[in-house]
Structure 1
Amino acid sequence: MKPYKSKWTPALLSMILAIVLILTAWPADSQARPYTSFFRGVRPLGMGGAFTAVADDENALFYNPAGLSSISMLNVGIFNPLVEVSGDSIDLIGDLGDTDMDNVGEVTDLLRKYVGKHQHVRAALFPHVGFRLANVGAMVGGLVQAEVDADIRNPVYPEAYLDYVQDISLLAGAGVGLPLTGLRVGATLKGGQRKSLSEVYTADDIADNNFDDRFDNDMKSGNSVGLD
């Protein structure tokens, strides 16, 4: 039997290939954003976030409370500020001082200048006290932090995509080693208040005389308690 060959096959394949090429070449909105987590200390950041297996200090409250069992002496942190600012955010903060934020044209020019440049600012303070009782390592602490991430999109009509999170939390945790060699267990109790905002603002919105009131109204808040 002579094999059947459709005369439409080459045309169909060419059409599919053309569609694939068009879709892959179509401009995509790609944004580099930091990984979201409750709290990232200096030491875990220096280790690329691979901290869970070696948690043995105040960061264990957030990563692996079983690591608190390694505390062997008094561990006190009173004033330990943490500040993160991206290079583009430093430039933006400088330009804010030279911009009339009540002028739509100037605000538009400012936003347009930073299209495609991710903005990130974070500040935190985590006073804490860790100690050992018998074979149990324990720690209590208070966390205050605020974080801002923003992206400016659409150079023709700039829009600011803003995410803001503010936390005030109390934490208490304990870890203990079990009779089985190398096995440890722990838990962290967290309670706190969070304020957050995730909105899109245009230059017209920002330059409006009532923008401060709108910003406050857009802010959401709530309380929570958790156990890890």
Structure 2
Amino acid sequence: MSKKGTVVLAGLMTLLAGPISLAAESISTTIHHSYQAPRALGMGDAFVAVANDYTAMFYNPAGLARREDGQINMSMSFAGTPGVMDFYNEFSEIESSGQSESDKTQAILQLIDDHYGESMQFRLQPLEGVWVRPNWGIALIPADVSLDFAMHRQVGPAIDTTLYADTTLALSYADDIKSVSHGRLSVGITGKFVNRAFFSKSVAASDFASQDEVIQTSDLLEGYTLDADIGALWTPELPDSGMWSVLRLARPTFGAVVRNVGEVGFGQSLGLINKETQNDTPEKLYRVVDLGSRWEYPSMWIFGGRGVLDIRDINHPEFSWRKGLHLGFEFDWTMTSWWKGHYRFGMSQGFWTAGLSAELGIFNLDLVSYADDVGTRNTPVESRFYATKLSLDF
């Protein structure tokens, strides 16, 4: 496998070194979420008012106040658009064709031109460790690498390239507010240390074709930040009779989270990847507000489930009502305590989502398909992902 092929397939650009001509900033209209879970993604990425597993640390830390037992999760996950593999296979054929360098360069320029307008994305999280208990949790994500390619030809064939490579350590605490009457109110906070390597440039196709090594570490912006998410969950106490008693069966719960309350940016660097002096900083964690609701179905035999509706990323620069709307449904089935599963579907950013989970003892498998809107406010464009996550759950 060539070095360029490795870049296209894996996106681990932080490990590469070599000169390249960099043009203007990459144009990206997507909303990048620092953490995503397949379970939530399958149900439209609407999880603010659910938050009843270990991922509550990142979706709504208030959910930890409602845990009755502990959970340790060790996992790895992969997500990508089908176009990534198609582009890589075509690229590999050119690289191994035995043509002259000039012919290869021309072929790669034509390849990029042929994929004009396409968006290709890849996300790899080789390890995630989370330990939650009633009221608290701790998580370590050593590497969460996300790479976006968008083909365009504003001047000549070029690739808008955006890379996020995050290392995250998080601590959470949550509890109930005892003085609240007419319901249960839980609040929680997740403090986060995030070290980010970031790259966002429009790379000329001629440079991409002519260089064996695509990017050097000095091109990566690096920094760390300390920030926090603050969340709340409220389950109202509904009367046994009267107009509101019908809703009692659905056990509605409402949630709210303010993410990255400090929004202090990545102004300091540990120099873990790029040890050179930098004049700029990585894209910051934006302060946004997420609102959500959850409605439970009546349990029947081995089945149960819930419906969810969220408005997410309020205050993000790329927020729109289309991108902010998330809704979904989840159906549970339980044979025994060690054999269970879930089916999900929903809508996220205007596009369908679907997923399933299978739990057999400590082994968990999650499969999901979802999409990001990579278009403009007036012209939505679907970038379809397929993702899998393998977990050990104790």
**How far apart are 1:215 and its partner, in Å?**
3.8
Residue in structure 2 matched with residue 199 of structure 1 by the alignment: 201
Closer/same/farther in 2, CA of residues 85 and 191 from structure 1, 3 Å limit:
same
1:37 and 2:33 equivalent? yes
Task: Supply the distance in 2 between the matched residues of 1:57 and 1:117 (Cα, whole angstroms).
Answer: 36
Report the AA paired with residue 83 of structure 1.
F
What pairs with 1:58-137 in structure 2 (closer than 5 Å)?
Answer: 58-78=54-74, 80-100=75-95, 103-124=104-125, 125-132=127-134, 137=135
Give the match's secondary structure for 2:93: coil
CA contact (8 A) 1:129 1:139 kept: yes
Report the AA paired with residue 112 of structure 2.
L
Task: Supply the distance in 2 between the matched residues of 1:108 and 1:156 (Cα, whole angstroms).
Answer: 13
Task: Supply the distance in 1 between the matched residues of 2:28 and 2:209 (Cα, whole angstroms).
Answer: 27
Tell me the C-alpha RMSD between the 2 structures. 2.2
Task: Supply the distance in 1 between the matched residues of 2:122 and 2:115 (Cα, whole angstroms).
Answer: 15
CA contact (8 A) 2:62 2:186 kept: yes
Task: Supply the distance in 2 between the matched residues of 1:83 and 1:57 (Cα, whole angstroms).
Answer: 20
What pairs with 1:1-228 in structure 2 (closer than 5 Å)?
Answer: 34-78=30-74, 80-100=75-95, 103-124=104-125, 125-132=127-134, 137-143=135-141, 144-154=143-153, 157-179=156-178, 180=180, 181-209=183-211, 211-212=213-214, 214-228=215-229
Closer/same/farther in 2, CA of residues 98 and 155 from structure 1, 3 Å limit:
farther
Give the match's secondary structure for 2:159: strand
**How far apart are 1:75 and its partner, in Å?**
0.4
CA contact (8 A) 1:115 1:155 kept: no
Closer/same/farther in 2, CA of residues 90 and 33 from structure 1, 3 Å limit:
farther
Task: Supply the distance in 2 between the matched residues of 1:150 and 1:156 (Cα, whole angstroms).
Answer: 17
Task: Supply the distance in 2 between the matched residues of 1:221 and 1:154 (Cα, whole angstroms).
Answer: 29
Closer/same/farther in 2, CA of residues 209 and 117 from structure 1, 3 Å limit:
closer
Higher relative contact order (CA 8 A, sep 6+): 2
**How far apart are 1:55 and its partner, in Å?**
1.0
Task: Supply the distance in 1 between the matched residues of 2:139 and 2:221 (Cα, whole angstroms).
Answer: 25
Closer/same/farther in 2, CA of residues 209 and 148 from structure 1, 3 Å limit:
closer
CA contact (8 A) 2:116 2:152 kept: yes
* Percent identity (aligned): 22
Task: Supply the distance in 1 between the matched residues of 2:163 and 2:210 (Cα, whole angstroms).
Answer: 20
Stretches of structure 1 lacking an aligned partner (at least 5 in a row) = 1-30
Closer/same/farther in 2, CA of residues 32 and 168 from structure 1, 3 Å limit:
closer
Report the AA paired with residue 152 of structure 1.
M
CA contact (8 A) 2:147 2:163 kept: yes
Give the match's secondary structure for 1:151: strand
Give the match's secondary structure for 2:116: coil
Between structure 1 and structure 2, the one with the greater Rg is: 1
Q: TM-score, normalised by structure 1?
A: 0.77
Report the AA paired with residue 140 of structure 1.
I
Q: Which protein has the bigger helix share?
A: 1
Closer/same/farther in 2, CA of residues 191 and 155 from structure 1, 3 Å limit:
closer
Give the match's secondary structure for 1:165: strand
Q: What do residues 29-80 of structure 1 show as CA deviations (whole Å, max 9, x unaligned)?
A: xx996532111111110121211111122221112111111221120112x1
Count, aligned residues: 192
Closer/same/farther in 2, CA of residues 45 and 33 from structure 1, 3 Å limit:
farther
Report the AA paired with residue 44 of structure 1.
A
Task: Supply the distance in 2 between the matched residues of 1:163 and 1:32 (Cα, whole angstroms).
Answer: 8
Stretches of structure 2 lacking an aligned partner (at least 5 in a row) = 1-26, 230-394
